[in-house]
Amino acid sequence: MRIGVVTFPGSNCDTDTLEALESLDVGVESIWYQDADLAQVDGVILPGGFSYGDYLRSGALAAKAPVMAAIRAQVEEGALPVLGICNGFQILTESGLLPGTLRPNRHGEFRCDWQTLRVVEASPFFPGLMPGELLRLPIAHGEGAFYVPPGTLATVFQQGEAWLQYVDESGLLNAVINPNGSMANLAGIKRGSVAALMPHPERAMADYLGSSDGRRLLSAWLKGIGQEGSYAG
């Protein structure tokens, strides 16, 4: 199995993500954003960072990059597994592969902190991550408030697209621990073979870093890709 990690100009979590994957003994490939060849990979991660500096709107320019056209085609034709992390989430909503948008944090500040997340829905792409399961992962973003137009939030839940939510340490939803003003405390969204989250699993790969729940999440994803085998890359 080989996983591609896309580097846009200004991506800054690409190296961390490649190293996290390597520690899980999977083959990795760094993909420059102008390359559109995904033939060698079984799944793609869009890592965190500030692609293009994000001076327009997080992810807006990256969504138009050559590599995104290739990813879109492979998702639509072959259910290519794609995981967006932080800025990668923003790129996926900007490109329309995931619903909603990510707005600036409601308090107007960048926020770096540990958060507890609860799995809302199981996904065949993350076998073993059961609804109600808790994960402790760091966040680091200035634009992470998930938003969908009024009246459409229920659809997100009904269609099983609500994936992860910010919860307190005991696993309960509450407004106080919402770090950015996200609708329904949503931290992660999925649709088909595409999933994305604002927190950084690649930073939680060992207990000495504060948590190894990122290892659990990424392992589940790799396992899912192995099992699904749906994408014959």
Q: Applying CB under 8 A, which residues contact another protein? A: 9-10, 12-13, 15-16, 19-20, 32, 49-50, 52-55, 109-113, 138, 140, 142, 200, 202-203, 205-206, 208-210
Minimum CB separation of residue 143 from another protein in Å reads: 12
Minimum CB separation of residue 204 from another protein in Å reads: 9
User: Cβ neighbours of residue 35 under 8 Å, at least 6 residues apart?
Assistant: 66, 67
Minimum CB separation of residue 202 from another protein in Å reads: 7
Pick the closer one to another protein by CB: 2 or 107: 107
86 labelled catalytic: yes
Pick the closer one to another protein by CB: 12 or 230: 12
29 labelled catalytic: no
Pick the closer one to another protein by CB: 122 or 140: 140
Pick the closer one to another protein by CB: 59 or 100: 59
Minimum CB separation of residue 210 from another protein in Å reads: 8
Which of 94, 112, 202, 228 is catalytic? The answer is 202
Pick the closer one to another protein by CB: 34 or 159: 34
Minimum CB separation of residue 81 from another protein in Å reads: 23
Nearest-angstrom CA–CA distance, 149 and 103: 12
202 labelled catalytic: yes
Which of 86, 141, 143, 161 is catalytic? The answer is 86
Catalytic residues, by residue number, are 86, 200, 202
